[in-house]
Amino acid sequence: MSESESTAKFNAQITAFGINPSKIYRNLSVEKLVEISVEKNEGMVTSTSSLSVKTGKYTGRSPDDRFIVFDDLTHDKVHWGKVNKQLPTETFEKLSQKMKKFVGGKELFVFDGFVGADPENRLPIRIITDHAWQSLFAHQLFIRPSAAELESHEPELTVMCINDFEAIPEIDGTNSNAFILINLTKKLVLIGATNYAGEIKKSVFSVMNFLLPSKDVFPMHCSSNIGKDGDTALFFGLSGTGKTTLSADPERMLIGDDEHGWSDKGIFNIEGGCYAKCINLKEKSEPQIWNAIKNGAVLENVVIDKESLKPDFDDGSLTENTRAAYPLDYIPKAVIPSVGGNPKVIIFLTADAMGVLPPLSKLSKNGAMFHFMSGYTSKLAGTERGIKEPKATFSKCFGAPFMPRLASVYAKMLGEKISTHNTAVYLINTGWSGGPYGVGKRIKIEYSRAMVTAVINGSLDIVKFSHNDLFNLDVPTECPGVPSEVLEPRNTWVDKDSYDLSAKKLAQMFVDNFKKFEDASEEIRSAGPKL
């Protein structure tokens, strides 16, 4: 296909989509996107050569403004409720037409590429934005096409993110002026009035989480790495559990840090980049992220010194949710294309601020499904505004905001994968020992690393386990590099009665939370804590 034919094809697609901008910049280079971003005062180049931007009012996801279109496809397949809120088709159509009319005569930026590193399960996508820096974000976060692939590109999923377009709630049927509307039938996402680029990433992931199960591919919110012998490991965990830190092992290669699929052939990264939190980022503790913040990387809401132009990663005055977006190939030893075999081990990470869960335990298949559906961790005092005491939180499948289907659908797939591939599953608690937050101490990172190493290298296969009757967990009596007394949490508490009370309290929380999974089998339910 000649360049003129390719251009004509693209123009025809844009016309068919129903927009008439004055100019479209398609798949510009990193250098050009940075140049335009600076020209338009969208951002500034820092001392690290990264592009720094501020996202204004919205510095994180806006869950109250996210809706999924309710129609023949979704009515019985989406888990409707507070997370997945219904939107009538007519409301979506009206707002779609308003948005398309709004961008008439304006300059737009398009990124055409893919999600899904496995060619058999990849999805061609189109990201349309009105800001150059967000097109750069898409370029770095998703999988970039070759010149030949770009010529023949036919998008199956389109995201139209128009920051300058605001909804009128009383007219448009939204919750506020900002909106994230997902139409799974049309494979079209509309985002307006929020500059936070994470909405683009997460909406694409939400769509993939809905689509992949119908292809018998298990979608996962996790990180993964691979050893020199080809052994693959998965790490599930919510914010603050150490997922990014513990999966970044210098002895192993990173496949991906956030979003994956698991087919019959093995696992694959859904994305082509990383979107790392960088509040309090230090070169010593996280060198991979630190060194990835260079030319082409996008910094969101990081405070920049006006004179030196150095990023101040310790300054959370704009938001605690500061971010860096960069391509996977900025990470040394990253696996590209980012695919791996069927996982040998799965690690669930939790940060129990009550200090009662064992630091390391082995899960049965049903136990794995129980803890996967539960998705337990603690929001820690001091990490979020307004939280004075540790607060237990449960997020189904370790990613509730991005899982449109019922938790049992994803858990069933997990169980089948574990059975088919004989995958070992462990629960590692990176939280507190010797007492709750404020009394005990955070489990040392070197102990957590030693546990991960022992799980991956198989050294726990030959040790004895004892059964924790309350939490219904199998706990190893020893682990290389970890003092044995640390493995039994009750032994680390001075006040044993307080431990028993706190442990029963957490066990009850697990049981109470699981009541919402009415369709869970008795086998899964009985794999949880025993009161």
Question: Annotated catalytic sites, by residue?
Answer: 61, 202, 221, 239, 243-244, 258, 323
Cβ-proximal residues to 521 (8 Å cutoff; 6+ apart), any chain: none
495 is written with which tokens?
């006040």
CB 431 within 8 A of CB 357: yes
Beta-bridge partner residues of 323: 277, 300
Instruction: Identify the CA nearest to 484 among candidates 375, 384, 345, 360.
Output: 360
Instruction: Identify the CA nearest to 202 among candidates 183, 218, 221, 223.
Output: 221
DSSP letter assigned to residue 36: H
146 is written with which tokens?
């070759």
Instruction: Identify the CA nearest to 133 among candidates 109, 150, 114, 155.
Output: 109
C-alpha dist (Å) from residue 46 to 30, 73, 76, 297, 370: 15, 46, 49, 10, 46
Cβ-proximal residues to 324 (8 Å cutoff; 6+ apart), any chain: 50, 274, 275, 276, 278, 281, 289, 292, 293, 297, 298, 299, 300, 302
Cα end-to-end span (Å), the chain: 67
Place of tokens 């088709």: 89
Residue 375, phi-psi category: left (phi > 0), alpha (psi -120 to 50), beta (remainder): left
395 is written with which tokens?
């997020």
- As a whole number of angstroms, the distance between CA 288 and CA 295 comes to 15
